[in-house]
Chain A
């Protein structure tokens, strides 16, 4: 029980201070769980992180589920995950409420005109930043181009993901899973 409460408090706190998503969470977790409490080793955290990054879902949430499970089993995993997202959900709901009321205010509208430009640039930067990790051989460029063309021609994103999962399985099978 004490372990569960501890997990809840720690991950709630992390949820409050975690700006910028998954990668921003790594130093926070490292400080809190590796350096201060010694619950995890650096290597273990890196493993969780790699797995969190390559499984479906939100990286930070996956890391929380993993850490909670390692510390206190299934209950720990569930508590850590929900503690992490409590503060963000409350803040977003509050902001969404406020913004719905003030969206027609001329200053708010102007502010969002500026914000939108920055968001588009940030997405472009994210694509550039991920390019090196995602595209390693010629086949990857082909995959990237085909997926992009399919999306642009109006095929649903979910269908594209399913199609490429099948192709990947087939390729893996033919290459002997290397």
Chain B
């Protein structure tokens, strides 16, 4: 039964998360407050692991979240749930691609939805920050790291490695 719930929850995420991996973060946060599968803190660790291993971030997070919920089978079921709606949609689109090319309705809808997706990513970030930043030093460090990332664009994995080194040395 839990597998059915997992599949259904991730099916919904796959259907509604428009715009790539990080958009799944706010949905996963929703899950963390509705089910005892993982805590918001574990969610951040999941993001870090997903960003620094190969594979699409959204897929990695679904696998990890499902594993946290019920183990290996959970990881597989959650990932399948996430992929099912988009595979169906893409197959339909690929089949009717010509019609899609000039489908203004679809494009207008997507254009309007993009800022909403972005707001949800921001919300995911704010929530995680609120759960994890509990003193001024951490807050200051976060702002500093953000400034560095914003102006020196390097591979995210490199920043995560620097975070590991910094954490082990100074935390």
Contact = CB atoms under 8 A, between A and B. Distances in A.
Interface of A: 15-22, 25, 51-62, 65-66, 69-70, 74, 77-78, 81, 84-85, 87-89, 91-93, 95-97, 99, 107, 109-128, 130-131, 133-136, 139-141, 143-148, 151-152, 156-158, 160-162, 164-165, 167-169, 171-172, 175, 177-178
A69 B90 CA distance: 9
Main secondary structure of the interface of B (DSSP, over half): helix
Given A65-B90, A77-B90, A156-B30, A121 B21 contact: no
Nearest to B106: A54
Interface residues of B, number: 100
Main secondary structure of the interface of A (DSSP, over half): helix
Contacts, number: 332
Interface of B: 12, 14-22, 25-27, 29-30, 41, 44-45, 47-60, 63-64, 67-68, 72, 75-76, 79, 82-83, 85-87, 89-91, 93-95, 100, 104-105, 107-126, 128-129, 132-133, 138, 141-142, 145-146, 148-150, 155-157, 159-160, 162-168, 170-171
Given A125-B149, A135-B115, A56 B125 contact: no
19 contacts: A20-B51, A57-B85, A58-B57, A61-B58, A69-B91, A74-B91, A85-B56, A87-B55, A93-B67, A110-B168, A114-B164, A114-B168, A116-B132, A126-B121, A152-B126, A157-B123, A158-B27, A165-B113, A178-B104
